[in-house]
A and B are shown apart, each in its own frame.
Chain A
């Protein structure tokens, strides 16, 4: 029953997305309590309940066989249901419609990484869902936060009136990884010297720093997971490109999904939300992903009123975030000089005099470190090859280092030259690799496929690194293809894939 009702409504709804808590609404008639978030919000409750009910049923069922990792995906004829257990018993489920015509061909792991990203960003800004639930068991608090947060997040995928989730065309991208700027030794030393100067600026507060150049990471003192979150947020909202585009959603990662209607679309989304009953209006809800809210101040520091404004003197409150591994709330303080963005994180507890301490820190940074910042910026921009710096002629590639959450790929502009056929084959290969890696946990594989359009699609994995390459207009022998990969590996991966 649940299945059929879902099928009928989804014809008009290409995307459904819900978050529910299995520990809630255990009694009949209280099922709505489970739902913490549902998109679209205006879907009638019975339809919402049927999606949640089906998901819950499957989770309960699969847990019998695999208590640790229950259901991951359901592939129905028209839909894919992607599951992600964000926190114990808190599930995120995304239902996407399949359709050959609308390019709705997905890779499940890519969709799941969207869910992961939403969750980890949410936790970074608001703390865990369970924590908010514990804080206010009624659920109004968490619903309000989830709703505004996810709706703000989704505006980035909004094209016109439709959501464009990462599909097969994004096969040469890896969400949840960091893209790094490659620098020479000298520049790297200058950068580290800057990091040291920032450290001494934060003195004994045990702060952290993240340095970005354009949309690429230059340095971090955070753990890899926190780095990914902060990097993601930085490239979504803080980098010069994001600031100059006035809040449009165009970024290095999501190039092509530009939308000048972002603001209005988001307003519309929130308009919908206002009509809905989910929101608890008595909470002040911080919307860190809201567009167009960050700007660069005269002193070079980035300012936003997202976190509110201090009563009386109209000074914006300094943003705060949570780090994953340290149970500390951190002040987030961002400084920008041309292409260089510096994010400082300072434990709230070590700043005894709060905002005053932050402004003193800013002053100190301007006085003691700015010359170093200018120097590093100059050095980096001199050595930067621009957007196509990491293009390798003849190759379309993606290199993922999952140990360190790093990836590097052909620039999106170059990937668009690939034919749909190649991309679809790659999407399929990646799907297989995901499956294989999930199943065997093995780290050692090599796939080389000749696609229908005579392009080579190659996947290799070795010691935590994966390499995907698409070669179009290449020679037809397998030897040629494997040599091309070996050459690439030797040249750009320190020979990580050419051991045998």
Chain B
């Protein structure tokens, strides 16, 4: 039973790998065990003994889960499945008989096939609308409903056909029935809550060695895989050494191209929507992200790694043997790969869960934009993915990688953020999982699309290129709407001046509240998507100091950042525009700065206006830009104060009067005019307030400055 192959050395904890299993495994060894069964509907690992059914819950996966035991009567066991509500246990006793236990009462009943020639290949429970359990027989499918009152099954429907063998995954709700001499002719049914859908019959490709040979397709060579809510079938062609993929639509099955394989034995796992193709003979894994149409692996083939092994010196002897056993047994003969991401070492009675090492994957690929795309699609470890994305984005800039690459990286991140906003996953990524796993192949719309395509013979697959295939139905959620309103630019058509000035005042408030909101969200990262203000603060702003010598490089990146945001209609915070102004000013590109302000590429805001004024020491034009922006934003108070600073008291007063600004104190003007030492100015300012501010003549201020004026005048005349 124990594999003794001398493949030690693979599992050293320092070794490079992209996927790993974590020590300790779930130990599912049980005395008197008669084999292991996996109930993928309930995510249970079942180990029956002669009169008991022992099961471990494997989701969520922990190594120390306690087994649950049910007692059944003795007899042969071909397979065991709990019903989806866990009220019944079904045990296949023979090719003709399945026995049921009602767990609560211990009552049993049996369902037999009608004729002897008609044997049962297997069965599975379903949450389909019309039936509860399906028997797969050599003559076809029997769909039964369970009637609790009668403690019996009631035949609902029969689907007649010849079946050689079948595969089913609960995840996809899809059963594939193989038939024909070579077992390469397939019929599929999807038994979802929407009803029973019959997929069109299709043939799998089998390369022949010569004209007369007729290879037979084996059940272990066909895998049903669910990624991104889409259902694929992968088929090993041992002669061509190819893994053919087919995608299922509601009304079509389309071949999607093939992946090369380097081992005649292939196993498949799916972790976080990444396809892991275990090249069992070579003991390496190839990762594919089949979201995009790319058939290239995410990374180079690397072995599976065991992590968290106790160090040899400290370990007790039993542990050590266990360790060496496991290590020796990597990809041993009695490894069974369970859907979607579990590995069962039947010999040792271990259950492992496969994990992805996002860090290693991102470190092993220098094509940063595609790594970012990959990371953005990961949902199991959003916090880590997000952190890695930020790190990557930062390092491409600091390493001064070619601009086009940086641009693509920025674009990927903003697109992904925009998408997560649109689908609402940005705020509630956790919930998203549920909706994607529903397993319906596609909505009818895209199905039709594909059909049209296949009819016209177009090869390229463009369906769902642009996004995750989640429904938009969550749109009505008010919190999402709110988030959208915050981040998405609703006024996409160039803001006209009236609008711009109109929103000026409260836009500042809005920004503040937004900031508060962002920090709140940070604590609970549910999506790898990075909001633009975090990109700003963790990437752009944080590299500013280091990029002083290369401000134009950073500026080019910011332009692309603004561009991507504008394409995705994402509203940006003023701080990014402030940075843009600062960088342009640093390189003394004042003419361009003017252009950016004029075309509103740098959107007007009080922060930007203040930055313009700050940089205006070198350029008077820039000060004017800042002043004009203040005026256009209707920040009258600030505008007037600035005018006074420039010594334009009278203009400021006229402006104050025209726009009825009463917040500016007269003393501001009076002090400035007094400081100018010009009695004419002071007199004019005094006169203004006397004429236009009721009651001013009686204030102490008035008398103070009248006296001051009187003191000033003679000195001028003398």
- Which residues from chain A sit less than 8 Å from chain B, CB to CB? 183-186, 188-190, 192-193, 195-196, 199-200, 219-224, 227, 368, 403-404, 463-464, 494-496, 499-500
Contacts and interface: CB of A to CB of B under 8 A. Distances in A.
Nearest to B603: A185
Contact of B658 (A199, A223, A463, A499): A499
Given A193-B563, A403-B624, A200 B403 contact: yes
A54 B589 CA distance: 45
Nearest to A218: B595
A500 B648 CA distance: 13
B403 A185 contact: no
Contacts of B594: 404
B717 interface: no
Best-surrounded residue of A196, A199, A223, A227 (most CB of chain B within 10 A):
A196
B681 to A, nearest CB: 15
Interface string B458-494: 0000000000000000000000000000000000111
Nearest to A500: B654
B497 interface: yes
Interface stretch (B360-368, B514-522, B554-562): B554-562
B501 to A, nearest CB: 9
A195 B596 CA distance: 12
Given A184-B493, A189-B559, A192-B596, A224 B591 contact: yes
A221 B556 contact: no
A403 B621 contact: yes
Nearest 5 pairs between A and B by C-beta?
A: A188-B599, A184-B494, A196-B556, A189-B563, A200-B403
B601 A188 contact: yes
Given A183-B599, A185-B599, A494-B632, 11 more contacts: A186-B494, A188-B600, A189-B601, A193-B559, A193-B560, A200-B556, A403-B620, A403-B621, A403-B624, A494-B497, A494-B628
B624 A464 contact: yes
Contact of B494 (A185, A196, A227): A185
A200 to B, nearest CB: 5
B628 A199 contact: no
B651 interface: yes
8 contacts: A183-B599, A185-B494, A185-B600, A186-B492, A193-B560, A200-B402, A221-B589, A494-B632
A196 B560 contact: yes
A433 B403 CA distance: 49
Interface in B393-412: 402-404
Contacts of A496: 628
B592 A221 contact: yes
A156 B556 CA distance: 40
Contacts of A200: 402-404, 556
Nearest to A499: B655
Contacts of B601: 185, 188-189, 192
Contacts of A189: 559, 562-563, 566, 601
Given A494-B628, A499-B655, A185 B556 contact: no
B559 A404 contact: no
Interface in B621-635: 621, 624, 628, 631-632
B552 interface: yes
B495 interface: yes
Nearest to B495: A185
Interface in B619-673: 620-621, 624, 628, 631-632, 651, 654-655, 658
Best-surrounded residue of A186, A195, A223, A463 (most CB of chain B within 10 A):
A186
Interface of B: 402-404, 492-495, 497, 552, 556, 559-560, 562-563, 566, 589, 591-592, 594-596, 599-601, 620-621, 624, 628, 631-632, 651, 654-655, 658
Contacts of B563: 189-190, 192-193
Nearest to A464: B624
A404 B560 contact: no
A219 B599 CA distance: 11
Nearest to B403: A200
A220 B632 contact: no
A463 B646 CA distance: 12
B560 A220 contact: no
Nearest to A463: B624
Contacts of B621: 403-404
Nearest to B621: A403
Contacts of B492: 186
A341 B12 CA distance: 62
Nearest to A189: B563
A199 B651 contact: no
B566 A185 contact: yes
Nearest to B493: A184
Nearest to B497: A494
Contacts of A186: 492, 494, 566
Best-surrounded residue of B559, B589, B595, B601 (most CB of chain A within 10 A):
B595
Nearest to A368: B404
Nearest to A219: B595
A188 B603 CA distance: 12
A375 to B, nearest CB: 12
A220 B595 contact: yes
A190 B494 CA distance: 14
Given A219-B595, A495-B631, A192 B559 contact: yes
Contacts of A494: 497, 628, 632
A196 B404 CA distance: 10
Nearest to A190: B563
B641 to A, nearest CB: 16
Best-surrounded residue of A190, A192, A200, A227 (most CB of chain B within 10 A):
A192
Contacts of B600: 185, 188
B591 A222 contact: yes
Nearest to B500: A494
A404 B591 contact: yes
B591 A227 contact: yes
Given A184-B493, A224-B591, A499 B559 contact: no
A94 to B, nearest CB: 30
A500 B559 contact: no
A186 to B, nearest CB: 6
Nearest to A183: B599
A407 to B, nearest CB: 14
Given A185-B494, A221-B589, A199 B552 contact: yes
Given A185-B494, A189-B562, A499 B599 contact: no
Given A185-B600, A189-B566, A403-B624, A196 B403 contact: yes
A492 to B, nearest CB: 10
Contacts of A464: 624
Contacts of A183: 599
Contacts of B655: 499-500
B559 A196 contact: yes
A176 to B, nearest CB: 16
A494 B604 CA distance: 13
A219 B403 CA distance: 20
A117 B91 CA distance: 98
A220 B592 CA distance: 7
Contacts of B402: 200
Contact of B632 (A219, A224, A495): A495
Contacts of A188: 599-601
Nearest to B619: A403
A195 B403 CA distance: 13
Contacts of A404: 591, 594, 621
Nearest to B627: A463
Contacts of B591: 220-224, 227, 404
Contacts of A184: 493-494
A346 B412 CA distance: 33
Nearest to A184: B494
A404 B601 CA distance: 18
Best-surrounded residue of A185, A220, A368, A496 (most CB of chain B within 10 A):
A185
Best-surrounded residue of B404, B494, B651 (most CB of chain A within 10 A):
B494
Contacts of A192: 559, 563, 596, 601
Nearest to A405: B591
A20 B563 CA distance: 53
